[in-house]
Amino acid sequence: MIARDRIYVGGEWVASAGTGTIEVVEAATEEVMGSVPEGTADDVDRAVAAARAAFPGWARTPAEERAKWCTRIAEGIGGRMDELATLVSREVGMVKQHSMLIQAGLPYASFSSVAGVVDGFPFEERIGSSLVVREPVGVVGCITPWNYPLHQISAKVALALGAGCTVVVKPSEVAPLNAFVLAEIIEQIGLPPGLFNLVTGTGSVVGEALAGHPDVDMVSFTGSTRAGKRVAELASQRVARVALELGGKSANVILEDADLERAVSDGVGKCFLNSGQTCSALTRMLVPRSRLAEAEEVARRTAERFAPGDPFGEDSRLGPLVSQAQWDRVQGYIQTGIDEGATVVAGGLGRPDGLERGYYVQPTIFSEVRTDMTIAQEEIFGPVLSILPYDSEAEAVEIANDSIYGLAGGVWSASPEHAIDVARQIRTGQVEINGGAFNTLAPFGGFKQSGIGRELGRHGLEEFLEVKSLQL
């Protein structure tokens, strides 16, 4: 049991104003692995007050000095990588080998990147007779999800601190334990009090209090589109800034001349990453109708290699889902796909053989999916891939854009130039060209109901800055 009985406010571990606790359940065993305080609105008040008090001094600290602190945080993360990867694998279910690279590696990269991002950044520039300065927005409320818990915290906190803001973090109550390790690192390096504050609790209490707090200048939220709309509603009452990174239903367009074996196998992997619990997962695979049977066979063979199992097993490729609620949700979507007439190519309902404990699902692939089907429109958040055939390139683009979301996508072609031309027609925040790798310095965010604003790199820093003109 990992029992955390304090929150982190003003540089100190303090008791919550409330008396409740929230249990954290291990995804692979369904057993309680820890607990955290069930925070209150009073806790948010204390944390925001600490952040507000610390803001003026931090805002005046040179950017290079702020970056050095972020580098020290990165070094602290680097010293606890295995611990963090293990912890997130228990909380979320991602297989350990992936957690080392992603769940621990990306937070390290976020804090490490700050020095390079602020170096040479135009915090001041002359435009005619005006001096235009970029100043930190103020106190930032960071509300984060459970699927990439420490990565989402770090992507916000690192660049907010680099910009000169102070933060109050509300991690997901489903996977909050990793956030306490970050707070310990911050305490151990001696980051000045009040710059980073951590309050655990539910979204309906702590999240709402943070989003609606009059002394929070900006809310940076990652999560479902439904919850993001609520955050935006609360923040709008005081015209506060928001950055929202929300849902996705991303299309992977495989063109006629693509290497189908490579494109389909890569696409299945991109859909199944983190057991499909990824907002930018490529969950819709668009293939030429003339090559549909071939694509189905490649997808089926690829799915067989994603054997579900213990996140700490050497041969495991797919861990469990995060919770019973998520398991029930994914089973419901699989049933809906069957009911609406999609063809099951791999997987289906129920648990994988031999895995009766833990929130495991069968990696599932549907084909002959139409764009009006539920599984082609709604975010499932599980290892469920929909293959949609198309008859022309124009139709493929139309299908790709037939979504309320616009977070990510992919295009495959023997001609990179042709792939880029098609990618420019897809209304999403990022598009992989022939499986291009994730770039931690490139802007991440979406069009349409996938959100507002961008994270990571220079564009992520700019989200936490206000622009002021000094007329000379």
Per the CB < 8 A criterion, the answer to whether 141 and 464 are in contact is no
How confident is the model at residue 314, as a pLDDT?
A: 87
Three-state SS string across 19-48, please?
CCEEEEECCCCCCEEEEEECCCHHHHHHHH
Residue 53, token pair as written in the block: 């008090």
Judgement on whether residues 157 and 205 belong to the same structural domain of the protein: yes
Mean pLDDT, residues 234-253 taken together? 97
Q: Which of 26, 271, 279, 432 is catalytic?
A: 279
For position 200, what pLDDT does the model report? 98
User: What is the pLDDT, as a whole number, of residue 51?
Assistant: 99
pTM above 0.95, yes or no: yes
Range of the domain at 371: 251-439
3-34: pLDDT as tens digits: 999 999 999 999 999 999 999 999 999 999 99
Stretch 346-357: mean pLDDT, rounded? 96
To the query of whether residue 279 is one of the catalytic residues in this protein, the response is yes
Residues 400 and 283 occupy one common structural domain:
yes
User: How far, in whole angstroms, is CA 467 from its chain's centroid?
Assistant: 27
pLDDT band of 83, cuts 50, 70, 90: very high
Domain count of the chain? 2
**Of the residues 245, 379, 432, 455, which is catalytic?**
245
Which token pair is 361? 């699902």
Q: Which amino acid is at 83?
A: E
* DSSP string across 139-180: EEEEE--SSSHHHHHHHHHHHHHHHT-EEEEE--SSS-HHHH
Question: Residue range 49-60: average pLDDT?
Answer: 98
Same domain, 242 and 302: no
CATH number, domain of 286, equals: 3.40.309.10
* Count of other CB atoms within 10 angstroms of residue 278: 22
Mean pLDDT of 192-196: 98
CATH of the domain at 72: 3.40.605.10
| Position 142 in a domain | yes
Contact 265, 317 (CB under 8 A): no
